Amino acid sequence: MGYEAVIGLEIHLELNCMTKMFCNCPNLPGDEPNLNTCPICLWFPGAIPQFSHETLEKAVITSLALNCEIQKESAFDQKVYYYPDLPKGFQLSQAHRPLARHGWLDIIGMDGRTRRLRIRHVHMEEDVAKLVHETEGRTPISLVDFNRAGVPLVEIVTEPDMRSPHDAMEFIRALRMQIRYAGSADCSMEAGTMRVDANISIRPEASEVMNTKVEVKNMNSIRHLGDAIAYEMQRQEACVRNGEAIVLHTRLWDPDRRMTTPMRGKFEGPCVPDPSVPAIRLSEEWISEMKSRLPEMPGEKVERFINQYGLSRDEAVMMSSERDLSEYFESVVKENIAPRLASHWVATQLLPLIRERQQNIAESPVTPARLAALLSMLAGEEINTSSAKIVLTQLFERKDSPEAIVQMSGFSQVSDKDELDRLVDRVMADNPSAVEDFRNGQAKALGFLIGRAMQASQGKANPKMIREILTKKLG
Amino acid sequence: MELNQLTIHELHELITKREVSSTQIVQSVFKRIETVEKDIHSYVTLMKERAFAAAADADKRIREGDITPMTGIPVALKDVLCTKGIRTTCGSRILHNYIPPYDATVVEKLKAAGAVFTGKVNMDEFAMGSSTETSCFGITRNPWDLKRIPGGSSGGSAAAVAADECIASLGSDTGGSIRQPAALCGVVGMKPTYGRVSRFGLVAFASSLDQIGPFTKDVEDCAIMMNVIAGYDSRDSTSVPLDVPDYTAFLSRGIDGWTVGIPREYFIEGIDPEVMEAMKSTIAVIEGLGAKCVEISLPHTGYCLAVYYIIAPAEASSNLARYDGVKYGFRAGDGRDLLEMYKKTRSAGFGAEVKRRIMIGTYALSSGYYDAYYKKASQVRGLIKGDFEKAFTQCDVILTPTSPTPAFTIGEKMDDPLQMYLSDIFTISANLAGIPGISVPCGFTRRGLPIGAQFLAGHFEEGKLIQMASAYEKNANLEKRRPNL
């Protein structure tokens, strides 16, 4: 009998707000330890939280990007637990009344079909402090860095709709794309601004039962998420086959040993509605205003790129995969460059060079205007493709315009009829056997001769004209 | 009369006429403290040096003509209000050495108005109690009878005003902690509407019930103090952005034509006969001023105590979770691991009453009990609020005794928490409903113990309370007495 997994995810996103959630300290958790703290985020006695409007806006935009229904009324609760990362012994969260419910995202399943995965709710909560354990020296000590305490988070809780590591990984990719478009969070698992916990149980295939789940934490890439789920499915299956019961608990993914290990439980206490942050009441008008702030999302953009620019679906998906990329692409097209030429050059030439240099397309020295100038010379046959590729790499190093680089490096394509006539005559004289072969019906000899001509011109000859002249002279 | 025996407005008049200086007033107050403090023990921390420096500063401002009604007036602060650079203990071992890095909003406001702080006054640990017997710094005694308690939890604030160890003070009221000790010590005490005064810098006990308010020698002083401390504060989202009227404008308006509600549920068995008698004379005085006293009903009164003892401990259990020995305050240093450190710190750092309430609260919130206790209590709280809303369509203010009995003797109720809790039976409802209340002296028992009358009004109707209490105070013809120390 085969088993299938039932997987639900809990995703914590750090919102990219200017300040913390309940005070005016800068939201810069990476600064020198305990620099960004005040009596409120250290929760000294007498401190009262001041809920930041920016957090609310970005949390609502995040929820809208996940197709959620924003709740007209939501509220904070105090989740009590004792741990030194929590300066007041409770975390402000929305356990009873979350900000948004009933969202969804579509993914392509392993069978190639679109599947809709449901999101149960999205709620706001504050991040906790970071613990640094120093084990060297005689007495091991634990240090607390409160820079991260009070950083605004949303937690996204899915329904248990995923059945495989593939589903979970695709869901996270889709979620990351939506949120990055919305611009409310950075969503980097590697940098810790997106933390994904997976709740996993297994059951016999085609069964509807919900068995005891195990929570797995500490995956810091999408790949690790897939690996951890795959490992946990195997582990649970082995347990069931050995007749062992699955116990509700939390496990940590160990990327070095490629396995999950049980984690010691924290003491979890009660949960009480927080009296100091007033309930959040949102009007229809305000929610509509937030909706209008959402940019064109990837789904709509793909369709528009196909219809407006005549891109293929694959090209459109590629050009829409990130908001910055799509904006770059459209800026190039606006300079009167054929959309498919722009898409082709961005995807196959520009992006690899940007990745090599670990740059960001929005801040690349090759601005859309500079790439467009280059492509326009290429389209006008002022330079050929191989020269264009060389010029492109030089655009990363030099501030000069593409036109200037072409001029200075002598990349200008030779399209002078007389000059090319002389070149072709010389190539034909130097390669009599190839000329012979062609006249004997070997068509591929033409390519050889064109190659020789290009080589002789150091790549500057207009290949189209060379072909025309050669064909005429050989015929 | 010594300067320390005068009221804020009397002293203000002398200051304005340049007849006395703030320094002289402060001298008089500290002389009194030196004489009686050993008997009363109102103070946890004296701020003598700072007080004289502040008085000198006030005198300079007075010479420059920069005078507010509070300039140069000595005020004591309950040790639950954060004071920058001055130890703030909440009467607890767990905060015995805690020095806040900031001032509470009310402290800032009083400072800006020119008030001079004499020190931090004693209280029940974390404001949980009705007798000021649970402070880790020892008990405070009632100036009217040293064998008796001053009430609580703001017992130090009440006793210091009654014993003339300050001119006025601030306390906090979560279930009666201003009004009950005011009644038992024979002074005026007001709990404002929830949201009228900023709680920023008030160490939280139960955040949906806590409110800061003044203790004064008369109603006029109460209005003056309220003028300073009331108002919206962006640092407390539960404070309400409403204009604050000039409360002194309500002082001599009279109550002719008013209707005063007498809730039948508050005149129950167990009220001391002398308190009952005092209430009857109070009603007579009020009717003599042209007001009509009518019987009203607050039908859910019987549930107040039960609801309160679920909601307040529930909120306290999370508010007090931060005292874990990690960041400040007391830490039991010999734990083997984190959990043991927590346990030892909290076991040794909190007193019995605080632990009792943390346990009640944690239990009421624990999974499986949340709906039966906390949720139901919150629903009943809504009904109690509704009772008052309905009542205030029938009357201007409500009159009740502040406390069912006068001050009881030290130790009398320490072993019986339920008896102790009953001491707040008439004050708790105002906190649950969020409405303002004032306690004014309304007579003495044959043993010479003060009795207090409580007036309640609708949300943000502190002006009505001052109008009522002032009219009563002026016409009650109570015997002028001072405690014999």
- What pLDDT was estimated at residue A266? 63
Nearest CA in chain B to A81: B321
- What pLDDT was estimated at residue A405? 80
Q: Per the CB < 8 Å rule, is B339 touching A267?
A: yes
Given a cut of 80, whether residue A137 has pLDDT beyond it is no
Average confidence (pLDDT) over B291-306: 96
Q: Per the CB < 8 Å rule, is B237 touching A144?
A: no
Delimit the domains of chain B by residue range.
3-249, 302-378
Tens-digit pLDDT profile for residues B428-449: 999 999 999 999 999 999 999 9
- Let me know if B355 is a catalytic residue: no
Q: What is the dihedral of CA A185, A188, A193, A199, to 10 degrees?
A: 110
Given a cut of 70, whether residue B464 has pLDDT beyond it is yes
Tokens of B277: 């008698």
Residue type, A253: W
The catalytic position among B22, B92, B153, B169 is B153
- What pLDDT was estimated at residue A246? 85
- What pLDDT was estimated at residue A278? 92
Given a cut of 90, whether residue A180 has pLDDT beyond it is yes
- What pLDDT was estimated at residue A270? 78
Half-sphere exposure of B235 (CA within 13 A, CB side): 18
Express as a percent the part of chain A with pLDDT over 70: 98
The partner residues of A162 in beta bridges, in order of sequence, read: A7
- A265 burial via Cβ count (<10 Å: 0-12, 13-18, 19+): exposed
The catalytic position among B22, B135, B172, B177 is B177
Of B203, B321, B367, the CB nearest to A88: B321
Tell me the chain B residues in contact with residue A45 when contact means C-beta distances shorter than 8 Å.
Answer: 82, 88, 90, 95, 98, 100, 203-204, 322
Q: How confident is the model at residue A406 (pLDDT cuts 50, 70, 90)?
A: confident
Tokens of B354: 């605080």
Nearest CA in chain A to B363: A270
Tokens of A347: 């995807």
Q: Per the CB < 8 Å rule, is B237 touching A89?
A: no
Given a cut of 90, whether residue A404 has pLDDT beyond it is no
Length of chain B, please?
Answer: 485
What distance in Å separates residue B267's CA from the closest CA in chain A? 32
Tell me the chain A residues in contact with residue B107 when contact means C-beta distances shorter than 8 Å.
Answer: none
Tell me the chain B residues in contact with residue A275 when contact means C-beta distances shorter than 8 Å.
Answer: 206-208, 238, 315
Residue type, B407: A
Count CB atoms within 10 A of the CB of residue A30: 12
DSSP characters over A231-249: HHHHHHHHHHHTTPPP--E
- What pLDDT was estimated at residue A1? 64
Output phi, psi for B222, to 5 deg.
-60, -45
Q: How confident is the model at residue A176 (pLDDT cuts 50, 70, 90)?
A: very high
Average confidence (pLDDT) over A29-48: 95
Given a cut of 80, whether residue A413 has pLDDT beyond it is no
Average confidence (pLDDT) over A389-412: 81
Express as a percent the part of chain B with pLDDT over 90: 91
d(CA A301, CA A303): 5
Output phi, psi for B274, to 5 deg.
-70, -30
Given a cut of 80, whether residue A412 has pLDDT beyond it is no
d(CA A228, CA A475): 66
End-to-end CA distance of chain B: 15
- Cα Rg for chain A, rounded, in angstroms? 30
- What pLDDT was estimated at residue A265? 66
Tokens of B231: 């108002």
Q: Which fold has domain B3-249?
A: Amidase signature (AS) enzymes (3.90.1300)
DSSP A22: S
Tell me the chain A residues in contact with residue B207 when contact means C-beta distances shorter than 8 Å.
Answer: 48, 274-276
d(CA B322, CA B324): 6
- Let me know if B92 is a catalytic residue: no
Q: Give the residue with greater pLDDT, A401 vs B295.
A: B295
Of B322, B367, B378, the CB nearest to A43: B322
- What pLDDT was estimated at residue B191? 98
Residue B128 CB partners (closer than 8 Å, separation 6+): B134, B153, B205, B316, B353, B354, B357
Tens-digit pLDDT profile for residues A275-292: 999 999 999 999 999 999
Q: How confident is the model at residue A267 (pLDDT cuts 50, 70, 90)?
A: low
Taking CB atoms and an 8 Å cut-off, how many pairs form between chains A and B? 106
Parts of chain A belonging to CATH 1.10.10.410 = 417-474
Tens-digit pLDDT profile for residues B62-120: 999 999 999 999 999 999 999 999 999 999 999 999 999 999 999 999 999 999 999 99
d(CA B456, CA B296): 13
Q: Per the CB < 8 Å rule, is B90 touching A144?
A: no
- Which of the four CATH numbers 2.40.50.140, 1.10.1060.10, 1.10.10.410, 3.40.720.10 does domain A417-474 have? 1.10.10.410
